[in-house]
Amino acid sequence: MRLLKRYLSLLIAAILVLALIIVPVAAELKTTQTDEGKTLISNGTYWISWDPIGDHIVGDQFFINGTTNLSDGTVLMYSFITPSGGCHTKICNRKNAGIQGDLLLKPDNSLGIKTFSILINTTDFQSNQFVFSFLVISSRNPAEVDAFYQGSTVDSTILLFPEDWRSITARSQTTHPDAGISYWISVSNVMEYTRPCYQLTGTTNLSPGETLSYSFFSPVEFGPNNNVDPIRNVQGVSRGGIVVPGEKTGINRFIIPINTSNSTEWINVIIWNPRYNSSDPSDSISTSMEFRPSPNAPNISTTCSVTLPVTTPTLPLSVMGTCGAFFVILCICKLTRKKENDD
């Protein structure tokens, strides 16, 4: 009987191991920001990469673009909506709280890599904060559905400013010589700051030397009972950011020193696009993000002195300093040896 129990335990263990081999566990999806400013969502086998979206003005029509290695005929369901149904009808005037739709992936000539575009028409939309997300609802390859069936958030902090902002920005933002080029600013949706003067960094296709400004924005509580226009409480404009050269051609970095002494626990940061073209409805006016203190960084509410970041490369200066010091030491050694020989 003991022998039977022993072999029975071994048999059960063997069956469990065999089941794990035959039925592989689906890998977890991970979301990362690429060096090109894209949002990459992947489980290691299947992936979708999304271009930066940015903030817009109600009435804009723009495309959300992406690339993927999912198979032909796969159907994505996407949503561009406000959380919890938007704001009060007295403020939003019964305007749309967003849209949902399906996207069919069609064959491409890029060796299995497909590009796609989703048109977002914000006519009659609420002026509110929106979330763009997606999931895979059907595919010839069941593994693709398994990978993306739970849904993934691409951007959770998209702002649609009121229509009257178009006339406001038109007075200060004119048509640039490079009109027709869409400039983007990419940063993580959520950032936890750890210092009273936090240097926010990200990627952009703006040219080096371009200056940037930001504003704090306090989101209001979502829901149908909210009677406050959620995009009316933008708090001033702070300057001091700058674009510096990046490692890849056409992809640069930006540095913005954020003074957190006046921020609250829950606040957003709006980075304004200095090359926004108000006459182009596909252009993004800004890029927004959640900005909150790190739970592991106490006493970060003190004031700080905001200064422009250093934009000149430090490596050549360091190399010159090292070589100079080495040259001085070498000369001293030679003089010392000469003096000893003379003696």
Report the pLDDT value the prediction gives residue 51, as an integer from 0 to 100: 95
Query: Sheet holding 61-68: strands in order across?
Result: 30-33, 39-42, 47-50, 61-68, 114-121
Q: How many angstroms separate the CA atoms of 232 and 218, rounded?
A: 9
Edge-to-edge strand ranges of the sheet holding 152-161:
56-57, 152-161, 129-138, 75-81, 98-104
Measured in degrees and rounded to the nearest 5, phi and psi for residue 82 equal -90, 145
- What are the structure tokens assigned to 130, written together? 């929106």
Q: List, in order, residues 6 or more apart from 209 with CB less than 8 Å away.
A: 242, 243, 311
pLDDT at 140: 93
In tens digits, the chain (343 residues) has pLDDT values of: 454 445 445 444 444 444 434 434 457 889 998 888 899 999 999 999 999 999 999 999 999 999 999 999 999 999 999 876 656 555 555 578 899 999 999 987 777 899 999 999 999 888 888 999 999 999 999 999 999 988 899 999 899 988 888 766 654 444 455 556 788 999 988 887 776 678 889 999 999 999 999 988 876 655 454 544 556 667 778 888 999 999 888 899 999 998 877 565 667 899 999 988 877 878 899 999 888 777 765 554 445 554 444 333 332 223 333 333 333 333 434 444 444 455 5
Element (H, E) at 114: strand 114-121
Q: Please tell me whether the overall predicted TM-score, pTM, comes out greater than 0.85 for this model.
A: no
Per-residue pLDDT at 237 = 86
Residues with Cβ within 8 Å of residue 212, at least 6 apart in sequence: 185, 206, 239, 241, 242, 243, 254, 256, 271, 272, 274
DSSP letter for 163, please.
T
| The pLDDT value given to residue 221 | 56
**Residue-level pLDDT at 313:** 32
In whole angstroms, what is the distance from residue 200 CA to residue 290 CA? 12
What's the confidence (pLDDT) of residue 279? 78
- Structure confidence at residue 176 (pLDDT): 53
